[in-house]
Amino acid sequence: MVRMAATTHGTPVSATGRQPTLQAASGRRALGGFFLSGVLFSFLGAVLPAWGYHLRSDHATVGLYFLFLTFGIYAGAQACHWLVTRTGLRLLLAVASGLACAGLLALAYLSGPHPPSMRMFALFLVGGAGAMVNAAVFHAITPLYQHDPGATINLSGGLFGLGCLSTALLTAGAFNYYTVPAMMILLAVIPFYFMIGFAMGEPFVYTPHSFPSFKQALADFRSPGAILFTLLLFFQFGNEWAIAGWLPLFLIQQLGMSPTNGILLLALYWTALLAGRIVAQAMLPRVRHSRLLLGSVLAALLGCVLLSMTEKMGGAVTGIILIGGGFAAIYPLTVESIGHRFPYYHPGFFGGIFSLGLVGGLLTPGLLGFAAQEWGVGKVMLLPALGSIMVCVLVLLIWLETRLTRGAAT
C-alpha cells in the first residue's frame, strides 16, 4: 500500500514528521463531528410530520425530498475530497457547518406556503454540508480506523446515532409547543455551535485517504467477495435509512398514532441502535462473531416482519427494538470479517465499487416514496423485511465465499 503523508492546513508533510499519538489525539477531537452529521442526515424523517405530510398522501414529494438530500450527500462527499488538501480540515469543517446552518435556516423560512421544489434545493445544501462534515471527520480519524476498524466504527456510529436520537427527541419535544420555523431554527443552532468550535479550535493533523484507481475499481467487479459486500452495503444501508425516514409517517398513518408519539418511536429506534452497538461491543470478546452476526440479522428480520404486520403500540415497540438492536451489529461485524481483503475500503468515503452500495442504500428512502405513492405507506415496511432477508442470504454467501477463498489459498 502506498504510504500516506500527514497534513496540516492542507499542506502535506512527512509522515514521520508527526507522532502517531498526535494524529490519534487530533482524530479524537474530530469525533464530535459525527454527532453533527447524524443530526443533518436524520432530521428529515423527524420533521416530515411537522410539515404536515402525515395528513396527506403526497408520498412522491417526500420521496423527492429524500432523493435531493441524497444527491447532496454524494456531491458533498466528492467536494470534500477535492477541497480537503486545499483548505485543510479546520476551515473545511467550519465552512461545512456554516452551510448546514444556512440550509436549515432556509428550511425554516420555506416551512410556510412555499413550493416544495424550493425546499428540495435547501435539502440538497444540508445533505452536501453533512457529507462534507462526515468525510472530513473520517479523514481526521484515519489513524484510529487503521489501528482498530471495528472499535472506531462502533464509536463513530455511536456518536452519529446520538446525533440522530437528539434530533428526534428535540423535534418530538418541540412539536406541540413551537412553530415549524422555530423548530428548524433550534436545529440550526447545532451546526452553528460546531461552526464556532471548528473555526476557533486548533488545526487538525490528519492522514489523507488513498482512493483506488479506476483500473482497480473495475477489477473488483471480477471479485465475488467485493460484489457480495457491495450488495450487502446496498441492502443494509437501504434497510436502516428506510426505517429512519419513513417510520413516523408509517406509524401515524397506519396505526393512528399522534405525531409526537410517532417521532418518539423514531427516537426509540435510534436508542435501540445505540444500545445495540454498546451491547455488541461488550459481547465481542465473549461470543463467536459469526453467531452474533447471524443472530443480529435474524433479529432485524423478525422485527421488520412484526412491525409491518402489527396493529398495536406494543407490537410496534417490540418490532422497533428488534430492528434497531439487530441492525446495530451487522455492518461493523461484516466489515471486520471481510475488510482485510479490501484494504483500501473506508466506510466514510465514496470510492471504488463499494460506492455503488453506499449510494444505492442511501437512495432507498427516496425510491420508497414512489412505491408508497403507488401502493400506500403500509407497504413501505414490507420492503425492509425483504431487504433483511437479502442481508441474511448475503451474509451466508459471504461466509461461504470467504471459506472457499481461504481453502483455495492453502
Question: Which 3 state secondary structure label does DSSP give 361?
Answer: helix
**403 neighbors 294 (Cβ within 8 angstroms):** no
As a residue count, the chain comes to 410
Cα angle vertex 238, ends 310, 81, to 5°? 150
Q: CA-CA distance, 234 to 361, in Å (whole number)?
A: 4
Q: What's the pLDDT band for 310 if we cut at 50, 70, 90?
A: confident
Confidence at residue 4, expressed as pLDDT on a 0 to 100 scale: 34
Using one digit for the tens of pLDDT, what is the confidence trace for 92-107?
A: 999 999 999 999 999 9
Confidence at residue 356, expressed as pLDDT on a 0 to 100 scale: 65
Confidence at residue 232, expressed as pLDDT on a 0 to 100 scale: 83
* pLDDT of 335 above 60: yes
Segment of 1-5, 38-42, 344-348, 387-391 carrying the highest mean pLDDT: 38-42
Question: Which 3 state secondary structure label does DSSP give 8?
Answer: strand
Contacts of 148 (CB under 8 A, 6+ apart): none
Using one digit for the tens of pLDDT, what is the confidence trace for 122-148?
A: 999 999 999 899 888 888 877 777 677
Residue 89 or 13, more confident: 89
* pLDDT of 241 above 50: yes
Cα angle vertex 314, ends 313, 315, to 5°? 95
- 211-410 folds as Growth Hormone; Chain: A; (1.20.1250)
Cα angle vertex 98, ends 263, 259, to 5°? 10
Provide the CATH number for the domain formed by 7-209 in this structure: 1.20.1250.20
* pLDDT of 383 above 90: no
* pLDDT of 305 above 70: yes
Is residue 208 packed enough to be buried (19+ CB in 10 Å), middle (13-18) or exposed (0-12)?
middle
Q: CA-CA distance, 43 to 52, in Å (whole number)?
A: 15
Nearest to 127 by CA among 202, 39, 52, 62: 39
Question: Which 3 state secondary structure label does DSSP give 391?
Answer: helix
Contacts of 372 (CB under 8 A, 6+ apart): 59, 62, 63, 246, 379, 380
DSSP string, 58-116: -HHHHHHHHHHHHHHHHHHHHHHHHHHHHH-HHHHHHHHHHHHHHHHHHHHHTTSS--H
Q: CA-CA distance, 350 to 358, in Å (whole number)?
A: 7
Residues 367-386, mean pLDDT to the nearest whole number: 84
- For the chain, give the percent of residues with pLDDT over 70: 80
For the chain, the structural domain boundaries read: 7-209, 211-410
Residue 220 or 48, more confident: 48
Segment of 40-54, 150-164, 191-205, 368-382 carrying the highest mean pLDDT: 40-54
Residues 191-195, mean pLDDT to the nearest whole number: 95
* pLDDT of 13 above 60: no
Using one digit for the tens of pLDDT, what is the confidence trace for 264-303?
A: 999 999 999 988 888 877 777 777 877 888 888 889 989 9
Confidence at residue 26, expressed as pLDDT on a 0 to 100 scale: 59
Residues 156-166, mean pLDDT to the nearest whole number: 88
Q: What's the pLDDT band for 380 if we cut at 50, 70, 90?
A: confident
Count the alpha carbons within 13 Å of 236 in the hemisphere toward its beta carbon: 28
Confidence at residue 15, expressed as pLDDT on a 0 to 100 scale: 42
Q: CA-CA distance, 114 to 121, in Å (whole number)?
A: 13
* pLDDT of 47 above 90: yes
What does residue 213 show for φ and ψ, rounded to 5 degrees?
-70, 165
**Fold match between 7-209 and 211-410?**
yes
Q: Which cell numbers hold the place of 350?
A: 465514496
Confidence at residue 16, expressed as pLDDT on a 0 to 100 scale: 42
Q: Which cell numbers hold the place of 58?
A: 403526497
DSSP string, 212-274: PPHHHHHHHTT-HHHHHHHHHHHHHHHHHHHHHHHHHHHHHHHH---HHHHHHHHHHHHHHHH
Confidence at residue 71, expressed as pLDDT on a 0 to 100 scale: 92
Confidence at residue 22, expressed as pLDDT on a 0 to 100 scale: 47
Average pLDDT, the chain: 81
Confidence at residue 269, expressed as pLDDT on a 0 to 100 scale: 95
* pLDDT of 165 above 70: yes
Nearest to 205 by CA among 1, 3, 5, 2: 5
Residue 292 or 319, more confident: 319
How far is C-alpha 311 from the chain's CA centre?
Answer: 29
Using one digit for the tens of pLDDT, what is the confidence trace for 73-86?
A: 889 888 887 888 78
Pairing of strands 11-12, 7-8: antiparallel
Confidence at residue 9, expressed as pLDDT on a 0 to 100 scale: 41
Instruction: Give CA separation, 299 vs 131, 248, 302, in Å.
Output: 30, 21, 5
Q: CA-CA distance, 187 to 102, in Å (whole number)?
A: 11
